[in-house]
Amino acid sequence: MRALHLLAPLASLLLCAAPASTDMALTSADGFALKGTLTLPSAKGKVPVVILAHQFATDRSGWTPLAERLAARGIATLALDLRGHGASTHKGDAELAVGTDFMASAKAVGFDQIPADLAQAAAWLRKQPGVDGRRIGLAGASVGAFSVLLAAADVKPVAILALSPAGTGAFGPGAQEKLKASVLSARASSLVLASQDDKDAFENAQALKGLPGVDLSLRTGSEHGFAYFKERADLMAVFFGEYLTYHRSGEAHRAAKAQAPSNADAPGNGK
């Protein structure tokens, strides 16, 4: 039965060796030194991998709740410090770090180049031993979520997780139309979460309604980005586990979604 995939046998999870993490570095097309961590679970053969793009004014460590759950399911992760964040603050001889003002930081650092950074990271990943380049996922929070959706057309991931896709103004005129076009081109299985009181993220999520492969989880309240981990981290891991390691039918993810805390989903939820 497909539902059995939801409950990865506890014994097999306990027997898994600890995943191995290594630091990596890339230089973006415009000269940013981008740093990240590649974590590979102990497994025979090549494993799927999810590229993780964090939200504004955080860093790659924010993904720990999801990365640990993915490793337990045999899924690798590449957690990046986005340009201007964490250890990715050097562009040539200059140091460029984000401040407290989102739009000023976006202009100074070049947030509109993050999708290209993610595509470069995917190309790097596909050359790494132990990684199955045919099974790549993307996950982003806030500006990272907007970025992974924009990067999808070039990366061609199997699955995308977008937590509160926001920061529209950082990506120039027609950003929302570009977002829709990228999602249409990628045709990945996409899970998009947004809250009704989180205006920018909610509007961007609504704009994706009805596109092929898009599953919206629209909520009441104001939860944003990493705040969804509190109740939904397991659902996110099931989502990637289903599409990257099983038969990509989505049945296990839909079953898990039905069992997740409801929190009064907003009107208009669904595909």
Distance CA 240, CA 262 (A): 20
- pLDDT over threshold 90, residue 44: no
pTM above 0.75, yes or no: yes
pLDDT in tens, 75-127: 999 999 999 999 999 999 999 999 999 999 999 999 999 999 999 999 999 99
What is the pLDDT at residue 254?
Answer: 56
**Mean pLDDT across 140-144:** 99
Closest CA to 167 of 130, 189, 140: 140
**188-204: pLDDT as tens digits:** 999 999 999 999 999 99
Mean pLDDT of the chain: 89
Name the CA dihedral angle for 81, 22, 13, 250, rounded to a multiple of 10 degrees: 40
- What is the domain partition of the chain in residue ranges? 17-259
Query: Would you give the end-to-end CA distance of the chain in angstroms?
Result: 25
Residue 85 φ then ψ, to 5°: -125, 155
pLDDT digits (tens, 9 = 90+) for 236-247: 999 999 999 964
Torsion sign over Cα 193, 162, 136, 70: negative
pLDDT at 248 over 60: no
CATH number for the region 17-259 comes to: 3.40.50.1820
